[in-house]
Chains A and B, each alone.
Chain A
Amino acid sequence: MNTARIDAKQGGGWLGAYVLAYLVFLYLPILLIPLFSFNNSIQAAFPLQGFTFEWYATLSGNSALSGALANSLVIGAIAATGATLCGITVSYMDLFGRSPLAVTISAIARLPILIPGVIVGISLLILVNLIGFGPSRTAIVLGHILVALPTTVVIMKSRFAAIPKTIHEAALDLGASDWTTFRRVMLPLSLPAIVSAFMLAFLTSFDEFIVAFFLAGTEPTLPLYIWSQLRFPKSLPTVMALGTAILAVSFVIAAIAEILRHRGLAAAQRPVPANLSKPEETERGELQWHST
């Protein structure tokens, strides 16, 4: 690895500058939202008009907004719980279940990556109407479990795969039942990954718009509330203040989740660094969506 790095050193400077420019491109448009949320003007344009907290003040005491926030939090928590539970069981059975059915379920669980959100939305809209409860918060929960499922399955599968197989076998050899092995050995060992999967599933749900658009009844989520406000140019600064708050929360949750995930993987790999069966991630734990 070191020789390769030295070999390719010549191009490194230019490439480094390019990566910097790329990061600026990645972050600049997003950071404009916080910038203009403090700008004392109804329009997002230069020159800046002066600093204000006025737009943040308009956020409080808005009952439609706090209702949407409450909906998003409840839906996010339930959907993340469901998606994490499915992610744990699906990936565990995929690896240790020794059954073709478990492998099939695991493959289908990652399928939503290959379905555009609009189609997930309409298929569930038809389904919930058929069942009878129609567009509602429950419907959005089901939609968000689907959207978050590939993430939780991939995270949990790489975590379980990184736990040395000998630990699982030792537990069974010492007389632990399948259930005890799962609950007392495998679950505690993968706790950081479970928390990380839950947080990322929560974020996915909290920020999701495309599927929720089809499944929302009379109670919108936060992104749907933002969408409804985009029609009114007057509420643009309020949307930016709200967007800033959401971005801040997303960054913090995602940061904690990423740190947990890397910690967990690093800890798991310490005992036998040499010959792990290749998990679906690199050694640094980057998500690898492409299924086999």
Chain B
Amino acid sequence: MGNPMSTIVARQPLPESRSSTGFRLAMLLPGGLVTFFLILFALGLVVFLALRGNDGSLLGAGFTFANFITVASDPLYWTVTLRSLAIAGLVTLATVVTAYPVAYYLAFHAGRRRGLLLFLVTLPFWTSYLLRVFAWKIVLAYNGVLNSALIESGIWSEPTLAFLNTPAAVVVTLAHAYAPFAILPIYVALDTIPKSLLEAASDLGARPFTSFRRVVLPNSMPGVLAAALVVFVPTVGDYVTPALVGGPASTMIGTLIQAQFGKANDWPFGAALAVAVMLVILAVVLVVRSADRRFGSRT
């Protein structure tokens, strides 16, 4: 680097010097390595392995579609996949519907308390997911918080087993664990609606509810869809919550994948299940994308 004073002449907007090339290489290297090697190549390995037979070796043997044929033809996998979709769908619906009013309040009513409230709804986002699920285990257990509280207060006379180890427990636990994910995207969408739109609606005689239904809700849909996506994706592949609070009746597709890489020790088949999950997610993303376009994405 020479003396800066020597270059008084205004530089062109795009001076492609040698140092610039080195700089660009150095700056692109870490991200390039991580994205191409750890993400794309690793995902490619999963697809590759899914097309191999299981012979106990790391990369399997011979090319085959047998894994996918089993996934598609065995009713067990259909049942579990549909159950995962149903649980993740319910969780997504519950999270988004309960989060919407909170986001609405934050965007339009919170006033001076907005900063504090945003902080409070964001904070659980950064706490341990395992501990949030564990909390529900102690709430729902047979000799747990909910049962003992109901008995203490005289509402119940005997503890019930009905809370823990049910698909309903999985839905409640996941909805709680992923609640903070849903509020922020909806809030951002609501907050960026031009206020002139709301004024125009009320000037033109729209009642508050009409202006909500015809102006606010459609304009916040990109946020709602983004929220649905960030809740749906982790929940559909979850295996921790079914294991801790779900019991055998709520086995999800993530549980099966984990088992193939653990006890069952059939990695190629587990990889095929993983590819199937990615295809389901891809389909959901495409649906969300096209819906997003219909509402005119602003994000």
Contacts and interface: CB of A to CB of B under 8 A. Distances in A.
B217 interface: no
A89 B31 contact: yes
Contacts of A102: 28, 31
A258 interface: yes
Q: Which of A1, A47, A236, A289 is packed against the most chain B CB atoms within 10 Å?
A: A289
Q: Which of B118, B138, B211, B254 is packed against the most chain A CB atoms within 10 Å?
A: B138
B220 to A, nearest CB: 13
A112 interface: yes
B115 A124 contact: no
Contacts of B4: 174-176
Contacts of B101: 15, 18-19, 22
Contact of A29 (B120, B135, B297): B135
Given A172-B11, A290-B185, A123 B46 contact: yes
Given A115-B233, A146-B39, A250-B126, A33 B24 contact: no
Q: Give the size category of B's interface with A.
A: 35 or more
A93 B104 CA distance: 35
A44 B299 contact: no
A230 interface: yes
Interface of A: 1, 3-5, 7-12, 15-16, 18-19, 22-23, 25-27, 29-30, 32-33, 36, 43-47, 82, 85-86, 89-90, 92-93, 97-99, 101-102, 105-106, 108-109, 111-119, 122-127, 129-130, 142, 145-146, 149, 172-180, 182, 200, 203-204, 207-210, 213-214, 223, 226-227, 230, 236, 239-240, 243, 246-247, 250-251, 253-255, 257-258, 262, 281-282, 284, 286-290, 292
25 contacts: A3-B198, A5-B108, A23-B120, A32-B139, A43-B143, A93-B24, A97-B27, A105-B31, A109-B35, A111-B35, A113-B230, A114-B233, A115-B43, A118-B274, A123-B45, A126-B58, A127-B42, A176-B4, A177-B20, A207-B131, A210-B239, A223-B130, A230-B134, A284-B191, A289-B226
